[in-house]
């Protein structure tokens, strides 16, 4: 959808440089700006808490054609606050939380097992193709 109806910024090789303008050199303020389209001077630390701003993911999830189809997956537990898990009502897997008791696909079962067995060795959540071949990192 973005490629057909919008723009993608940040390909420096093509002269499209994207930078955040919040003036801070750490994660939460930058993620907020990228996901909402504007900086928020109130967000001045990674431990800020729940994001008061509506992200584009939450906005998309409110649209009837995307409702229930927007999800967030990441390994940093602060994503729960940045994407405002409580307000947004989206599917969210962040930090080292294990998935709920729902029936797991083979990929999710593998990732869950890996998290239980070797959490210290997993630096990031890998995409589905990775789990087709291997489910833990040495």
Are 17 and 72 in the same domain? yes
pLDDT at residue 23 above 60?
yes
pLDDT at 115 exceeding the cut of 70 = no
Report the alpha-carbon distance of residue 45 to residue 77 in Å, rounded. 14
Residue range(s) defining the domain that contains residue 71: 2-96
Query: Do both 90 and 108 map to the same domain?
Result: no
pTM of the prediction?
0.64
**Domain count within the chain:** 2
Q: Do 21 and 51 sit in the same domain of this protein?
A: yes
58 in the same domain as 35: yes
Tell whether 41 and 82 lie within a shared domain.
yes
| Co-location of 8 and 50 in the same domain | yes
* Beta strands in the chain, from DSSP E residues, in sequence order: 71-74, 91-94
pLDDT at 120: 43
Chain segment 36-85, per-residue pLDDT in tens: 999 999 999 999 999 999 999 999 889 999 888 888 888 898 999 999 99
């Amino acid at each position: 959808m973005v490629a057909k109806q919008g723009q993608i910024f940040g390909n420096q090789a093509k002269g499209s440089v994207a930078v955040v303008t919040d003036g801070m050199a750490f994660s939460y303020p930058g993620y907020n700006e990228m996901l909402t389209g504007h900086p928020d001077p109130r967000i001045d630390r990674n431990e800020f808490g729940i994001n008061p701003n509506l992200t584009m993911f939450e906005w998309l999830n409110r649209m009837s054609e995307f409702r229930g189809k927007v999800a967030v997956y990441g390994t940093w537990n602060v994503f729960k606050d940045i994407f405002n898990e409580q307000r947004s009502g989206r599917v969210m897997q962040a930090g080292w939380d294990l998935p709920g008791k729902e029936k797991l696909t083979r990929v999710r079962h593998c990732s869950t097992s890996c998290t239980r067995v070797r959490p210290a060795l997993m630096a990031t959540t890998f995409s589905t193709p990775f789990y087709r071949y291997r489910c833990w990192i040495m």
